[in-house]
Amino acid sequence: MNLSKKYLFVLPSIFFILVSFPVYGSAKSNNTVEKNNSQENYTYLLKSPKQTKEVLEIMKNQYPSLNVTAIEEIGLIYVENSKNIDVNKIENKIIEYIDVQGELPDLISPYEDAVTPNRILNEVKQLTLDEFKESNQFDTNIEFPSLNSETFTPFNWYLKDVTSDYKNLSIDTGEHSTIALIDSGVDIEHPLIKENIDLTLAKNYVTNDMDITDELGHGTTIAGIMSSIAPDTTIVPYKVIGNEVGKSVWVIEAIIDAANNDNDVINLSVGTYFIKSEKEDKLLIKAYKKAVKYAESKGAVVIASAGNDGFDLDELKELKIKHLPGGLHNVITVSSNTKNNNLAYYSNFGKEVDFSAPGGSLFDDNGSNNTNEMIITTFPINQMNTPLDQSLGIPQGYTLTEGTSYAVAQVSATAALIISEYTERTGNKPSVNKVLKYLEKGSSDIGKPGRDNYFGEGKVNAYSSLMMINK
């Protein structure tokens, strides 16, 4: 890969991040805390989770109507819409309890910085589209064909790849496993995924209710991949993104809830960038670390994306920029490879990458537009799919896409299969380390021999991992 060309592409994005992301302050050791009264939201990570109730009582005594989210398991308190209160008055009473404080950033939209289908349409040669339409063999008489059907052969190559042509289905289908989908919700009416969705424990953190309607479409695309690889696994949606962006605090809260609800796998195809200065504490990092550690203590496997900006994450660290929650200890971080087992042009990379999976790409290895390098998945049936989809004759309820999000979904589904098969054979749920071991043993070593910064331990393969359990 020509990294010099890659950086020409990403430097503007770095600049955007540097000038647009907030800076987070640390708790001061004195008894007076100066705050900017224009700030609306404050977050406090306490020295001990056991202090949460006591601190809440102090805050409520000061302002009974205060809008507060408390995550007692990790001692995190999030105060929302605080412009009309005297924050200094509160903080001076709780300062001795605070470990780290600041303002948590919003999530980056899952489609942010990726080449979206609308942009793709303008970039792809119309001649190519016309030629494809003429040879299009989509059978529109079949209502909602499965993603692995011959109907979608040009674009379901990734499913054949990660399952060894669906051989995994003869071993295990995920019956004894549950995946927490922390994303934008899901289309519960989609025929290909509705049987997988469990609404009993589902939650919407955006509106604080049970409505997990997918306004963005991203969660539905993830669920479609999971259900294609592990068709009998249960998917529990936790909606942390509305029609645009979500909040990091919702993700942290959802991780805790997913762990408490005994989900086996936590899928995080979302993230944000964190910028730290020499003077400030790492609020976001500490909060995520505590949440992930808690999830692991409950036996959940946490899997997250490396990100879609083409960054060398090791070089970002030197700039004091970090992508979260991927890259944290105890989080399986996933990059994206192409059809030919190269790193996708958009995929972040670095030492923190653990595995890769095929996430699709608009461009082939020569840099030419090639829609056949993209991947197909499900899309909300009540939303129009993209102009590119329509140009190619792809039916409503499906979409072409690319991104590390979809690589994560494949690794999550594979982990769910491992857990299901191991549980069925032994009667016991495997530890997080055992799941990791079987992911490693079943992966294909692509790129340089051994672990590398592009693909980690290698490209995940569901069939090979299941075979390792049965040896």
Spatial distance between the Cα atoms of 427 and 421, rounded to a whole number of angstroms: 10
Are 265 and 429 in contact by the 8 Å Cβ rule? The answer is no
Amino acid at 153: T
pLDDT for 117: 47
pLDDT for 112: 53
pLDDT for 2: 37
Coil vs helix vs strand at 22: coil
Q: Which residues contact 15 (CB under 8 A, 6 or more apart)?
A: none
pLDDT for 277: 62
Same topology between domain 25-102 and domain 117-469: no
pLDDT for 80: 83
Nearest CA among 334, 285, 267 for reference residue 307: 334
pLDDT tops 80 at residue 11: no
From 3.40.50, 3.30.70, 3.30.410, 1.10.1760, which CATH number describes the 25-102 domain? 3.30.70
Answer with the residue of higher pLDDT: 419 or 24: 419
Amino acid at 71: I
Quickly state the pLDDT bin for 377 (edges 50, 70, 90): very high
Are 294 and 261 in contact by the 8 Å Cβ rule? The answer is no
Spatial distance between the Cα atoms of 101 and 298, rounded to a whole number of angstroms: 26
Are 178 and 237 in contact by the 8 Å Cβ rule? The answer is no
CA dihedral 224, 228, 234, 235 (to 10 degrees): -20
Copy the structure tokens of residue 166.
């669906």
Quickly state the pLDDT bin for 243 (edges 50, 70, 90): confident
In CATH, the architecture of 117-469 is 3-Layer(aba) Sandwich (3.40)
HSE of 279, CA atoms in CB hemisphere, 13 A: 6
Spatial distance between the Cα atoms of 396 and 378, rounded to a whole number of angstroms: 9
Spatial distance between the Cα atoms of 140 and 181, rounded to a whole number of angstroms: 30
Reported as type and span, the H/E element at residue 3 is: helix 3-20
Spatial distance between the Cα atoms of 273 and 408, rounded to a whole number of angstroms: 18
Residue 238 backbone class (left: φ over 0; alpha: ψ -120 to 50; beta: rest): beta
Copy the structure tokens of residue 427.
């009667």
Q: Which residues contact 207 (CB under 8 A, 6 or more apart)?
A: 242
Mean pLDDT of the chain: 85
Please report, for residues 95, 104, 275, 319, 357, the alpha-carbon distance to residue 353 in angstroms, rounded to integers and kept in the order given: 38, 24, 20, 19, 11
Angle between helices 404-426 and 462-469 (to 10 degrees): 20
pLDDT tops 80 at residue 133: no
Neighbours of 143 (CB within 10 A): 8
pLDDT tops 80 at residue 137: no
| Angle ∠(414,399,444) on CA atoms, nearest 5 | 30
Quickly state the pLDDT bin for 82 (edges 50, 70, 90): low
Mean pLDDT of 202-231: 95
Mean pLDDT of 38-48: 83
- The domain spans of the chain are 25-102, 117-469
HSE of 83, CA atoms in CB hemisphere, 13 A: 4
Q: Helices (H) and strands (E) in the chain — how many of each?
A: 14, 15
Are 125 and 369 in contact by the 8 Å Cβ rule? The answer is yes
Are 76 and 103 in contact by the 8 Å Cβ rule? The answer is no
Q: Which residues contact 121 (CB under 8 A, 6 or more apart)?
A: 386, 387, 388, 391
Quickly state the pLDDT bin for 27 (edges 50, 70, 90): very low
Quickly state the pLDDT bin for 103 (edges 50, 70, 90): confident
Q: DSSP letter for 20, please.
A: H
What's this model's pTM, rounded to 2 decimal places?
Answer: 0.87
pLDDT tops 50 at residue 21: no
Are 355 and 14 in contact by the 8 Å Cβ rule? The answer is no
pLDDT tops 60 at residue 32: no
Spatial distance between the Cα atoms of 343 and 397, rounded to a whole number of angstroms: 29
Spatial distance between the Cα atoms of 158 and 459, rounded to a whole number of angstroms: 11
Residue with tokens 């609306």: 40
Answer with the residue of higher pLDDT: 270 or 52: 52
pLDDT (tens digit, 9 = 90+) per residue, 300-309?
Answer: 999 999 999 9
pLDDT for 75: 97
Highest mean pLDDT among 105-114, 118-127, 344-353: 344-353
Quickly state the pLDDT bin for 276 (edges 50, 70, 90): low
DSSP for 28-41, please give it. Answer: -SSS-----TT---
pLDDT (tens digit, 9 = 90+) per residue, 162-198?
Answer: 999 999 999 999 999 999 999 999 999 999 999 999 9
Quickly state the pLDDT bin for 140 (edges 50, 70, 90): low
DSSP for 285-345, please give it. Answer: HHHHHHHHHHHHHTTPEEEEE--SS--BHHHHHHTTEEEESTTSTTEEEEEEE-TTSSBPT
Neighbours of 439 (CB within 10 A): 27
Spatial distance between the Cα atoms of 282 and 279, rounded to a whole number of angstroms: 10
pLDDT for 368: 83
Spatial distance between the Cα atoms of 288 and 166, rounded to a whole number of angstroms: 35
